[in-house]
Amino acid sequence: MNLANFRQLGGIQTNTGKMVKKNRLLRSGEVYQLNKKSLDALHEHELVKIIDLRGEKEITTRPDDQLNNVSYQWIDIMKDVHHDASMEDLFDVADIGAVDRHMIKIYENLILNDGAQEGYRKYFSELLSIEKGSVLFHCFAGKDRTGVAAALTLELLDVPRESIYVDYLETNVQRQKPNELFLAEAAAKGLSPEQLAGMKVAMEVKKEYLDRAYQLIDQHFGDIQSYTKDVLKLSKNDIQLLNHLYAE
Domain membership flag for residue 138: yes
CATH number of residue 164's parent domain: 3.90.190.10
182-240: per-residue pLDDT in tens? Answer: 899 999 999 889 888 888 888 899 999 999 999 999 999 999 999 999 999 999 999 99
Domain membership flag for residue 1: no
Q: What is the pLDDT of residue 85?
A: 47
Domain range holding 70?
7-246
Q: What is the pLDDT of residue 89?
A: 59
If one compares 92 and 153, the residue with the highest pLDDT of the two is: 153
Domain membership flag for residue 230: yes
Domain membership flag for residue 67: yes
Domain membership flag for residue 74: yes
Domain membership flag for residue 63: yes
Q: What is the pLDDT of residue 93?
A: 61
Domain membership flag for residue 122: yes
| 83: number of Cβ within 10 Å | 12
Sign of CA dihedral 125, 172, 168, 248: positive
Inter-axis angle of helices 207-221 and 145-156, nearest 10: 60
71-108: per-residue pLDDT in tens? Answer: 999 999 999 987 544 555 555 566 788 888 989 999 99
Domain membership flag for residue 2: no
- Our count of domains for the chain comes to 1
Give the mean pLDDT of the chain: 94
8-63: per-residue pLDDT in tens? Answer: 999 999 999 999 999 999 999 999 999 999 999 999 999 999 999 999 999 999 99
